[in-house]
Structures are given as C-alpha cells and as structure tokens.
Amino acid sequence: MATTYQDLLRRKAELETRMVEAQRRAQAPFESELRAILLALGALRQAGMAERLTAREAPAFAPPTPGKRGRRGRSTRDMILMTLAQAPGLNEAEIARQLDHRWSRPVTPALVGRELEPLAMEGLVKRSGAGWVRVEEQTERTEAEPSFLAASGH
C-alpha cells in the first residue's frame, strides 16, 4: 500500500511532465514563426539589404506616436496678446494677474514688461495711456468701420 507521501510525489512528477508538454505545444506555433522570421532576416543580411532598408524605413511594428493630448501649450507672448485682445488698456500688473487667473501662469509684472517691449517693436502692441493695447485689433476695427458706415448710407 502506497503512502500519502509517495502518492503526492508521483502526482507532482506527472504534473511537471504535463506542464512541460503543454508549454511545448503552446510555443510550437510561435517557434515556427520565429524561425521563419530569422531565416528571412538572415537572407536579407546576406544580400546586403539590411542596412539599406533600416536606414530608410520606419519599422512596421513600431507603434504610432500618439498625438499631443491635453491643453495646448502657449507661450507667455501668445497669452499676453490674447489678454490684450479681450481687454485692451491693461497695465503690466493687471496683465500678470490675468495670466495667473486665466491660465494659472504665475508671471511677474517685470516679465510682462520684458515681453511687451519686443511686441511693441514688432508693432503688435502699443502703449495707450497707462496701459497697453493690441494694435491689430484697432486696425481691423478702423478698416471695418468706414465700409460699415458707407454701406449704411451715413
């Protein structure tokens, strides 16, 4: 009569054998495909085409690069122009407050002043009284007003 210990050892050996067989059966299709790929790569390498193909082509198996998600990154310059387009006549401190409030971009009034100087040199903004205005908005309004007045008969 076999003891429980011997029965468990026999069962363990049977399970190990069955696991090895199951692994071989599961790996068989992948191993044959892997052999075929290695054979094809070896043939391309022997023909001297491997270096030429890898230099030009992106690998087909590479995942596509994801598009940029989330909010669009804006520069301080762009945000200043947008702020002045919506609320002309703001000074540096008020522009800095708007940037912090609208875009959570803490900017000092001194930095806003440094950004406004090149914008003024480019003719995009100008000083108007104690604040700054965006020049493009004003030129569009002045060009649109005469045509509107002429069309209305005034």
SS3 content of the chain, % helix, strand, coil (to 5): 70, 5, 25
Residue 147 contacts residue 106 (beta carbons within 8 Å): no
Fold of 76-152: Arc Repressor Mutant, subunit A (1.10.10)
What count of residues does the chain have?
A: 154
Higher pLDDT, 80 or 59: 80
Measured over the CA atoms of residue 23, residue 29, residue 32 and residue 38, the dihedral's sign is negative
The pLDDT value recorded for residue 13 is: 95
pLDDT digits (tens, 9 = 90+) for 22-69: 998 998 888 888 889 999 888 888 887 766 655 555 556 666 666 666
145 vs 135: CA distance, rounded Å: 16
Give whole-number Cα distances, 5 to 9, 11, 12, 14, in Å.
Answer: 6, 10, 11, 14
Instruction: List own/partner pairs for 42-48 with CB under 8 A and 24 or more apart.
Output: none
pLDDT digits (tens, 9 = 90+) for 118-129: 998 988 999 888
- Percent of the chain with pLDDT strictly greater than 90: 29
* pTM (2 d.p.): 0.45
Closest listed residue to residue 71, CA positions, set 112, 34, 104, 27: 104
List the domain boundaries for the chain. 4-56, 76-152
33 vs 31: CA distance, rounded Å: 5
